[in-house]
Structure 1
Amino acid sequence: MTFSTLVSAQTLSDHLSDPNWIVIDCRHDLANPEAGQAAYAQGHIPEARFAHLDRDLAGPTVAADGSFRGRHPLPDRTDFLATLRQWGINEHTQVVVYDAHGGMFAARLWWMLRWVGHQAAALLDGGLQAWQSLDLPLSTDTPVVVKIGNIQERSALTKQLSVEDVLRNLKEQGKALIDARSPDRFRGENETIDPVGGHIPGAGNRFFKDNLTADGRFKTSEQLLQEWQAIIDEPSEAVMQCGSGVTACHNLLALEIAGLHGAALYPGSWSEWCSDPKRPVA
């Protein structure tokens, strides 16, 4: 059985010795970029590899033409596939990603695996807290990858828009733009990460944490369907964005759980958008 959205802590525990399953720890702290790796060293799910948001899940922030691509632009696909192979991921590996932050960072890797055509990628529902709530073990050992993986690039299971596409959409207004940041940052208040406060004109707001229940697990598919259908009319005409293209992936995962397929990601998101003063701000 292939898991392509969520997997429970119990199911992961049952498959932990399965050589076809690989676990990736995606813990991170935007204010302290090395905190995730430090937490991983103190204890992680046994045999889990570690993915650093800045180094493994993002590429250079400045393009060849000198333009700013956002705080976490997508890496080169070839480089990303090489990283996946270094983790031992094969064509048919079931990948499970997790963090300790409700999935806000792990969802980025889930989306990126789909970006290179790998469908067998799922997020640990409830994250590390769900694992620990079952009194399951942690390890401080760094796993040794005995054999490099053979994963190959396949047709993307995702869609994405460039900043030029988003600018064009401002005029045509054909796609619904949904911002995953907190409501205060969306309104331009308490902005401590990016140099400009506000949002892209015409965007709506769906805070990614609204996809979760109080215990950090995702809401049911039925509840997510009801909530998201009140926000967007047609998922294939919707675009998810956030501050830097990370938590927007959480909303994309929620849409997949709800059975609403086809929404796109604007990877550069607000951090890229606001870097050019000629672009309008709301």
Structure 2
Amino acid sequence: MKIMRGYGIYLFSISLLWAFWLQLSAGPKGQSSFPEESPWFLSAESALHFSQYTILDTRSYLHRLKNKIPGSKVISWEELSRTDIPHKGELLELSLVRKKINELGIKENQFIFVLGDGESGWGEEGRIVWSLREAGFYNSYWIDGGYSALEKAIQKNSNVKGDNAIDLSVSQNRPKLSSSIRKEEILKGLPTKQFHILDTREPREFSGATPYGESRGGHIPGAKSFFYQDLFDAKGNIKSKSEVENSLKQLGIQKEKPIVAYCTGGVRSAFVVGILRTYGYNAYNYAGSMWEWSHDPKLPLETKN
């Protein structure tokens, strides 16, 4: 059964009891507590009563060709990012991001569901949601499990209709917060170990391999290897809060200190940041990541664990 029939788009809904928790943090500051945010991702089963939404499809071309979603908008994370060296991977100016999304016919207060390739991808859905939220599109979420999970949910609940009214006043009044951090802040915090630093790349990259265009190999001093793929369970869904917390505790990471995540160009790390912030961690994405950091010979790198 196809995920969409004809030219209509299936109706969605979700319980909003936990969707708009008060966000009290703004900036990478140490805190004794960091409240869970509005979730950055939704299970497919929970998305059955939204009456208005837009799907942003960030899957690979082949996956989009195989399973088309009528009415969806197609966008890639690269379209919202800089391509010039050494700033490759950084988010475009926020006004440009808003312009590109508005040109798709999407306004800031609309609900946006981002569909990615799940565990077979690079976390592009997380990067898109991070980019959107940075630009003020706070009603942005990615679908956990990707296309296959959403298709199964629709098959199981094909008779459910979206009839819940959505009150946008809460989301419109949210403070505009950032989950981004720049290299200058990271560098300044290294001597005092101000941040927990997570390297979300493959273990070989952490150890010094440069398969994706880094100028130099290694990792930021003090970083812990936290491969983004390890956040998926055996079914290809995001692990539970308790499972993620346990993994972080094994690395010596607690919630009292802010977390910085990076990868090669800020894609995998944005995915991880979305999960961590959903689970109550004060996490920030370093979008420039290793493309930027490794390009500057003055910035330190380590190759030993």
- TM-score band (shorter)? 0.7 to 0.9
Give yes or no for contact 2:261–2:285 (8 Å, CA) kept in 1.
yes
- The 1:134/1:155 distance shift into structure 2, 3 A limit, reads closer
CA RMSD in angstroms comes to: 2.6
- Runs of 5+ unmatched residues, structure 2: 1-15, 20-37, 156-170
Q: Which residue of 2 aligns with 1:276?
A: 296
Report what 1:46 is aligned to: 70
Cα deviation code 1:69-95 (max 9, x no counterpart): 1x3111110010011212222233111
Structure-2 residue corresponding to 1:253: 274
Which of 266, 270, 277 is the aligned partner of 2:286? Answer: 266
Structure possessing the higher relative contact order (Cα contacts under 8 Å, 6 or more residues apart): 2
- Counterpart of 1:77 in structure 2 is 94
Equivalent position amino acid for 2:286 in 1: Y
From the superposition, tell whether residues 39 and 75 of structure 1 become closer, same or farther in structure 2 (CA, over 3 Å): same
C-alpha spacing 1:38/1:208, structure 2 compared with 1 (3 Å) = same
Percent of aligned pairs with the same amino acid: 25
Residue 236 of structure 2 aligns to a residue whose secondary structure is coil
- How far is the alpha carbon of 1:135 from its aligned partner? 7.3
What is the DSSP-based 3-state SS (H/G/I as helix, E as strand, rest coil) of the residue aligned with 1:124? Answer: strand
Are the aligned partners of 1:25 and 1:50 in contact in 2 as well (CA < 8 Å)? yes
Compared CA separation, residues 254 and 124, structure 1 to 2 (3 A)? same
Task: Tell me which amino acid in the other structure corresponds to 2:91.
Answer: L
Q: Does 1:59 align with 2:82?
A: yes
Aligned-partner SS, 1:131: helix
Contact 1:4 1:119 in 2 (8 A): no
What letter is aligned with 1:233?
Q
Partner of 1:126: 145
Q: Which of 190, 195, 210 is the equivalent residue of 1:175?
A: 195
Q: Return closer, same or farther for 1:38/1:241 CA change in 2, 3 Å cut-off.
A: same
TM-score (norm 1): 0.78
Structure 1, unaligned runs of 5 or more: 28-35, 63-67, 137-150
**Alignment equivalent of 1:25, drawn from 32, 39, 57:** 57
The residue aligned with 2:105 is: 88
Q: Structure 2-normalised TM-score?
A: 0.73
Q: Does the CA contact (< 8 Å) of 2:109 and 2:172 recur in 1?
A: no
1:99 to partner: Cα distance: 1.0
Partner of 2:265: 244
